[in-house]
């Protein structure tokens, strides 16, 4: 199962990729998580990524493409992958096409999670993330059992530095045009399916799972 999840920041790509990954035992590959780990470990990549992420911009394509190229070669991707947050530009989409060709793989589905802009702002500014394991919560829609504490590992819940209203608006701006181009790119290849995420997390997962069963399995 070779999937990509498309959508603006806050659409629920990470949440649903995690659900799919658990159900089908396919790795969830999030370029955002890879960059955040690099920032945590203060690597050279982390230093580049921090500045870009905190301003709401995009990490350069050459860097991002190389990271994904290497990640897809790992053994756990033999039976498939769920890409979350990649590709984000046409350059990345073309690079992914070449990577898959070189590995004799094909993309099964580009799933676009569609959400209204006002809802995205609400989802992102009220999101909380575990500083230890990266699990994601929402203060209203998916709160932790104990305030400020991760249900899964007991770590401290924090607000991502790019989830402030100002940076969120910049991220939406930066990603909107790229997303439109990507939707067109995958539509032309007959790979695109859209799911409206105007319901709760579990309901949206059910819709996504039905699409996967119909189109991929
Ligand atoms: P990344 O971490 O990928 O951020 P993003 O794309 O902006 O997406 P988010 O993680 O913010 O949102 P999401 O769609 O995963 O939503 P989530 O499931 O958390 O990237 C961060 C940065 O890294 C980028 O800005 C860029 O700088 C850089 N980067 C990453 N990839 C790159 C690339 N390919 N090229 C260049 N640069 C790159 O859900 C959001 C909230 O809503 C949560 O609180 C969740 O609980 C809640 N929620 C989810 N679904 C629902 C629902 N149905 N109902 C109610 N609440 C819901």
Q: Which of 36, 88, 123, 128 is catalytic?
A: 88
Q: Are 157 and 133 in contact (CB under 8 A)?
A: no
In angstroms, what is the span from residue 213 Cα to ligand 1's centroid? 24
Q: At CA 122, angle to CA 120 and CA 127, rounded to 5?
A: 95
Enter the pTM of the model. Answer: 0.97
Per-residue pLDDT, 180: 98
Annotated active-site residue 13? The verdict is yes
Two tokens at 34? 């890879």
The model's pLDDT over 80-129, given as tens digits with 9 standing for 90+, comes to: 999 999 999 999 999 999 999 999 999 999 999 999 999 999 999 999 99
Per-residue pLDDT, 94: 98
Q: At 74, is the pLDDT very low, low, confident or very high (cuts 50, 70, 90)?
A: very high
Per-residue pLDDT, 57: 96
Annotated active-site residue 171? The verdict is yes
Annotated active-site residue 117? The verdict is no
The model's pLDDT over 125-152, given as tens digits with 9 standing for 90+, comes to: 999 999 999 999 999 999 999 999 999 9
Spell out the domains of the chain, with CATH numbers in brackets: 2-115+175-215 (3.40.50.300)
Per-residue pLDDT, 39: 96
Angle between helices 61-72 and 90-102 (to 10 degrees): 30
């Amino acid at each position: 199962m070779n999937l990509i999840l498309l959508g603006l920041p806050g659409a629920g790509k990470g949440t649903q990729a995690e659900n799919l990954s658990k159900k089908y035992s396919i790795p969830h590959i999030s370029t955002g998580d890879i960059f955040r780990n690099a920032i945590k470990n203060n690597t050279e990549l982390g230093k580049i990524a921090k500045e870009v992420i905190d301003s709401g911009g995009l990490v350069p394509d050459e860097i991002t493409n190389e990271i994904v190229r290497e990640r897809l070669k790992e053994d756990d991707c033999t039976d498939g992958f769920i890409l979350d947050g990649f590709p984000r530009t046409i350059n990345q989409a073309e690079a992914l096409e070449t990577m898959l060709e070189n590995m004799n793989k094909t993309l099964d589905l580009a799933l676009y999670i569609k959400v209204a802009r006002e809802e995205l702002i609400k989802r992102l500014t009220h999101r909380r993330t575990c500083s230890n394991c990266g699990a994601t919560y929402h203060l209203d829609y998916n709160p932790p059992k104990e305030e400020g504490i991760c249900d899964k590992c007991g770590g401290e819940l924090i607000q991502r530095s790019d989830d402030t209203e100002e940076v969120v608006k910049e991220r939406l701006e930066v990603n909107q045009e790229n997303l439109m181009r990507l939707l067109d790119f995958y539509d032309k290849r007959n790979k695109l399916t859209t799911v409206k995420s105007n319901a709760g997390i579990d309901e949206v997962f059910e819709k996504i799972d039905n699409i996967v069963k119909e189109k991929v399995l």
